[in-house]
């Protein structure tokens, strides 16, 4: 009950009115899954499942996509010569609506598939949905992983406390020192791209790639560490994605809770439904799944394009899996892995340009500036920003076998606390401490 009340106070601190939306979604999910567990009629079970999808996706579409869909329709009508006037509604986007909607829908579908029975404890259920460390930006938890932890007895552990604080400290460092520092250069470059050297823009895109990583994985580290202080273990959300040698592997290591959600609840059912199409059914499933994932990220055509591009890449890799294994055996394996890793990073950075652009026109303008601008003057590059990136990659490479890079609790105490002290001093010395930017994934 303490966690339940604390989580709602935490959520309501932003806007107390949306606590009722969170409560309604959680309550509806609880009672629908109870009905699913209590009936054996396939017809009724399909009805309850479809009702849950309509209600939760309907709420999400109203708050997040209503203006986008209507505006897109009116723009299309105007292009056809029809005069359609529309004034967008002033709809505030509830914090974390995409995350808790996917959380509840995933749980409902698992109960529908009879993977486990529905919860019988109302307060435990709504508490695990609202659990404040993971509520606003994930990871997207699975009920069979988090919900039992509310029923189990938890005991205080000094080791868990130290480990949790270490992970939180690493998250704060990545967010405040690296992500917010890179943000100043990135924001300027994307706002004034017409006046910048192409190399400056390319470096800005790379900086945004690492800004996004440090910002989002930093939040995940803070969430996991905070939960561990309270005796809970959340799902790992990042696993050093920049050392991947394929786009598929990158997604298995980036926003892992979303990737697994997409695979279990979108890709697998769609590919099974289209199994008669053979390999093209798999390609179709990847394209549809990741396009929906792009739309989940935001009501903008840039996100839809971003998702579709990743869907095409994943589909290509699935169709050419055997051929690429043959290439790996034919050529030097180490050289092939390094080359593949570089290509994956270039692809990911390019798609991050689409992700960061405010519109399709904005993306096209930056891309045009990179391709067509004259390369005659010196690019404006601050080498300090690049040192942050190189240092981060080196440290994560050496710690890549650990769940997070600062898991050094088994190191000699004088080295361990010297590193922690250095990080704390760096955080408090950062000019970003009193000028922080919002976590990027709060907008989703």
- Same domain flag for 169 and 137: no
Q: Does 91 map to a domain? A: yes
Note the helical H segments in 234-300: 247-253, 256-262, 268-273, 279-297
Q: Are 52 and 32 in contact (CB under 8 A)?
A: yes
Between 75 and 389, the more confident residue is: 389
pLDDT for the residue 381: 64
pLDDT reading at 161 higher than 80 = yes
- Same domain flag for 272 and 389: yes
Q: Does 443 map to a domain? A: no
| Mean pLDDT computed over 130-137 | 90
pLDDT reading at 81 higher than 90 = no
Is the overall model pTM greater than 0.75, yes or no? yes
pLDDT for the residue 376: 63
Q: Does 285 map to a domain? A: yes
pLDDT in tens, 7-29: 999 999 988 888 999 999 999 99
Confidence of residue 143 (pLDDT cuts 50, 70, 90): confident
Q: Which of 142-151, 163-172, 419-428 has the lowest mean pLDDT?
A: 142-151
| Mean pLDDT computed over 368-394 | 78
* Gap between the Cα atoms of 444 and 439, Å rounded: 10
| Mean pLDDT computed over 169-196 | 92
Q: Does 297 map to a domain? A: yes
Q: Does 133 map to a domain? A: yes
pLDDT for the residue 80: 72
The one catalytic residue in 103, 128, 197, 297 is 297
pLDDT in tens, 99-110: 999 999 999 999
- Same domain flag for 105 and 239: no
Distances (CA, A) of 350 to 192, 255, 290, 297, 440: 19, 18, 16, 17, 18
- Same domain flag for 109 and 167: no
Among candidate residues 18, 57, 15, 19, the one with its CA nearest the CA of residue 296: 57
Residue located via tokens 């749980």 = 107
Q: What percent of the chain has pLDDT over 70?
A: 96
Among residues 151, 172, 197, the one where a domain terminates is: 151
The chain-wide mean pLDDT, for the chain, equals 89
* Gap between the Cα atoms of 255 and 252, Å rounded: 8
Q: Does 444 map to a domain? A: no
* Gap between the Cα atoms of 57 and 59, Å rounded: 5
- Same domain flag for 66 and 197: no
**Total count of domains within the chain:** 2
- Same domain flag for 104 and 127: yes
Among residues 135, 151, 167, the one where a domain terminates is: 151
pLDDT in tens, 316-359: 988 888 887 777 777 777 888 888 999 999 999 999 999 999 99
Q: Does 442 map to a domain? A: no
pLDDT in tens, 353-370: 999 999 999 999 999 998
Q: Does 221 map to a domain? A: yes
pLDDT for the residue 83: 74
- Same domain flag for 261 and 398: yes
- Same domain flag for 196 and 220: yes
* Gap between the Cα atoms of 391 and 399, Å rounded: 12
- Same domain flag for 264 and 290: yes
* Gap between the Cα atoms of 12 and 20, Å rounded: 9
Q: Which long-range contacts (CB under 8 A, 24 or more apart) does 248-253 make?
A: 248/314, 248/317, 248/318, 249/344, 250/344, 250/348, 251/310, 251/314
Phi and psi of 353, rounded to 5°?
A: -60, -45
Does 128 participate in catalysis according to the annotation?
Answer: no
* Gap between the Cα atoms of 373 and 206, Å rounded: 19
Domain boundaries, position 304: 159-436
* Gap between the Cα atoms of 437 and 179, Å rounded: 9
Confidence of residue 427 (pLDDT cuts 50, 70, 90): very high
Among residues 120, 151, 182, the one where a domain terminates is: 151
HSE on the CB side for 315, CA within 13 Å? 22
- Same domain flag for 145 and 196: no
- Same domain flag for 62 and 171: no
- Same domain flag for 79 and 53: yes
| Mean pLDDT computed over 42-65 | 91
């Amino acid at each position: 009950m303490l966690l339940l009340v604390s989580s709602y106070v935490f959520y309501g601190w932003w806007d107390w009115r949306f606590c009722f939306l969170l409560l309604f979604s959680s309550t509806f999910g609880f009672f629908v899954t109870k009905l699913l567990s209590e009936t054996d009629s396939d017809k009724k079970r399909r009805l309850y499942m479809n009702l849950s999808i309509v209600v939760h996706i309907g709420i999400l579409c109203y708050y997040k996509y209503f203006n986008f869909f209507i505006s897109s329709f009116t723009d299309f009508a105007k292009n056809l010569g029809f005069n359609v006037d529309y004034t967008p509604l002033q709809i505030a986007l509830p914090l974390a609506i995409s995350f808790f909607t996917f959380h509840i829908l995933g749980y409902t579908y698992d109960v529908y598939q009879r993977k486990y029975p529905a919860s019988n404890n109302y307060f435990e259920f709504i508490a695990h949905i609202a659990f404040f460390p993971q509520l606003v930006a994930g990871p997207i938890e699975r009920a069979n992983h988090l919900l039992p932890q509310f029923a189990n007895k938890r005991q205080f552990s000094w080791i868990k406390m130290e480990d949790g604080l270490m992970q939180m400290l690493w998250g704060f460092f990545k967010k405040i020192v690296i992500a917010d520092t890179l943000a100043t250069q990135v924001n300027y470059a994307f706002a004034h791209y017409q006046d910048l050297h192409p190399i400056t823009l390319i470096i800005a895109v790379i900086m945004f790639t690492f800004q996004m990583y440090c910002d989002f994985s930093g939040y995940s580290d803070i969430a996991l560490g905070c939960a561990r202080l309270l005796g809970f273990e959340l799902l790992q959300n990042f696993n050093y994605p920049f050392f991947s040698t394929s786009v598929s592997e990158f997604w298995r290591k980036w926003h892992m809770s979303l990737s697994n959600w997409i695979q279990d609840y979108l890709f697998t059912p769609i590919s099974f439904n289209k199994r008669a199409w053979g390999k093209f059914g798999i390609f179709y499933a990847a394209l549809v799944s990741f396009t929906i994932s792009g739309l989940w990220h935001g009501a903008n055509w840039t996100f839809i394009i971003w998702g579709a591009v990743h869907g095409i890449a994943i589909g290509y890799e699935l169709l050419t899996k055997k051929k690429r294994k043959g290439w790996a055996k034919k050529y030097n394996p180490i050289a092939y892995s390094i080359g593949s890793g570089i290509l994956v990073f270039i692809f990911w950075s390019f798609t991050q340009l689409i992700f960061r652009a405010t519109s399709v026109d904005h993306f096209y303008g930056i891309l045009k500036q990179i391709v067509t601008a004259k390369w005659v003057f010196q690019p404006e590059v601050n080498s300090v920003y690049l040192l942050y990136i190189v240092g981060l990659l080196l440290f994560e490479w050496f710690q890549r076998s650990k769940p997070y890079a600062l898991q050094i609790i088994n190191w000699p105490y004088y080295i361990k606390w010297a590193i922690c002290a250095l990080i704390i001093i760096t955080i408090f010395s950062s000019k970003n401490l009193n000028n922080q930017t919002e976590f990027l994934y709060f907008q989703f």
